[in-house]
Structure 1
Amino acid sequence: MPDQLRIMLVDDQPMARRGFALMLRRSPNLTVTVEAGNGQEAINLLTARRSEAAPLPDVILMDVRMPVLDGIETTREITRAFPSVKVLVLTTYDEDDYAFGALTAGASGYLLKDVRTPDLIAAVEAVARGDAILTPRITRQVLDRGIPRTLPHHQQTEMRALLDPLTPRERDIAGLIADGESNAEISERLAIEPASVRRNVSRILSKLDLRDRVQIAVLWHKSGL
């Protein structure tokens, strides 16, 4: 992880962007390098930076409700076109459907807009390390609403078959990821080193040909486990 992480703020409310910028400035490890007022503007700015060989942001804080192009479609476009850029979506308590849509679009997680400064900073740094921000309470609610509890039996069987290459340890870790636990929490739960957790997560992603931890959680829940 670079010494100082580059952050992009995407929100149609200038005061909201200013507020998050002030919170992020509390950390010497974070710097806001670019801001956008809607999703299309964000994509245009990223495209311009790439064409100019300018550094791309490491993490984007993305609002979901914006004019021109909303946060979900923007997240889908950015994670496809700029795979090195991680996206954290900002939601409110009544926007679980938006949160699930963002996860399936490629976001590395989501935060409530009333997040406290230390939690915001920790979340941005965790996502930059390759972790996912999926708090257990909200994760379960979002996934339960977004994935039917009773998929047809043949679909569940197909999903479970995809998990067959995993070792018992990898299955344990995949299940804990699906419960919204971080690498540090998994390390404590299973009494193994954090580095071992990271290696196992990398192997899970490789074996299942998945992009990130969010996709592990979605696959696990779709399999009915």
Structure 2
Amino acid sequence: MPEKWTRRVLFVEDQQIVSVLVGELLVAAGFLVKSVATAADAVDLLEDFDPDVLVTDIELGSRPDGVELAMIARSLAPHLGVVFLTSFTRAATTGFGRTITGAVTVDKLTFSDPSELVAAIEASVRADATPVPGVEGDEELIDRLTPHQRRILSLIAAGLSNREIAERSGASLRAVERSVSRVFDTLGVSHVSAINPRVAAANRYSRLFGRPSEQ
């Protein structure tokens, strides 16, 4: 059975009822969620929780506000996805969002379909890695991987599990899971419904380089 990657979401919202309702929605959607009321609490959790995505209101009732929090969080975790769930108008929010590369905005007052927020979260983590269908081939996509990520991909193509890669490299399992998730996002196979994303990623590698041995 393929290993399942669960995205971690740090959710920041100062209105308790919204915090509870949206937090429950995110858990039901399959995310691992930590909910806090202030930016200060969120900053304290960044290192220990190690989130993949920050979902935050912009107006949090105190400083730092949501945009400032996102800037702090990105300085500590450059690959962090950012979603602003806010009651500001869309025009105003766009102005805020331009300071955060790849940030996605959801209007708190109008969104009613949980899938809209889920889609925003997924879009935020793929903001710098989403391939253009029909334009980029295997070579172009693999060129976008860092040397470390290419090494991870070669081990996936060799048939190693995340745990085996962690043991081989001396990294933590969590660190390997994050690297594998980013490889899948960059290659555009994170949400391939018909086949296992590990198989799809390995096939991309093997078409260019052949099947690797366990290095």
Q: Check whether the contact 1:88–1:110 (CA below 8 A) recurs between aligned residues.
A: yes
Q: Check whether the contact 2:54–2:82 (CA below 8 A) recurs between aligned residues.
A: yes
User: How big is the shift at 1:77?
Assistant: 1.2
Q: Check whether the contact 1:5–1:58 (CA below 8 A) recurs between aligned residues.
A: yes
Which residue of structure 2 aligns with residue 151 of structure 1? none
Q: Secondary structure at the match of 2:32?
A: strand
Q: Check whether the contact 1:63–1:90 (CA below 8 A) recurs between aligned residues.
A: yes
Which residue of structure 1 aligns with residue 6 of structure 2? 4
Determine which of 114, 121, 124 is the counterpart of 1:124: 121
User: How big is the shift at 1:79?
Assistant: 0.9
Q: Check whether the contact 2:82–2:121 (CA below 8 A) recurs between aligned residues.
A: no
User: How big is the shift at 1:80?
Assistant: 1.2
Which residue of structure 1 aligns with residue 99 of structure 2? 104
For 1:98 and 1:66, how far apart are their aligned partners in 2? 14
User: How big is the shift at 1:94?
Assistant: 1.8
Which residue of structure 1 aligns with residue 84 of structure 2? 89
Inter-CA distance 16–23: structure 2 relative to 1 (3 Å threshold) = same
Q: TM-score, normalised by structure 1?
A: 0.52
Q: Secondary structure at the match of 2:74?
A: helix
Instruction: Encode CA deviations 1:186-225: one digit per residue, 9 max, x unaligned.
Output: 42xxx4358678568779xxxxxxxxxxxxxxxxxxxxxx
Higher-Rg member (1/2): 2
Which residue of structure 1 aligns with residue 42 of structure 2? 42
Superposed CA RMSD: 3.1
Which residue of structure 2 aligns with residue 192 of structure 1? 135
Report the identity percentage: 20
Q: Check whether the contact 1:7–1:60 (CA below 8 A) recurs between aligned residues.
A: yes
For 2:38 and 2:90, how far apart are their aligned partners in 1? 18
Inter-CA distance 123–95: structure 2 relative to 1 (3 Å threshold) = closer
Inter-CA distance 110–202: structure 2 relative to 1 (3 Å threshold) = farther
Which residue of structure 2 aligns with residue 68 of structure 1? 62
Q: Check whether the contact 1:89–1:99 (CA below 8 A) recurs between aligned residues.
A: no
Instruction: Encode CA deviations 1:99-140: one digit per residue, 9 max, x unaligned.
Output: 322331345221122332112112212323x227xxxxxxxx
User: How big is the shift at 1:45?
Assistant: 2.4
* Gapped regions of structure 2 (runs ≥ 5): 147-215
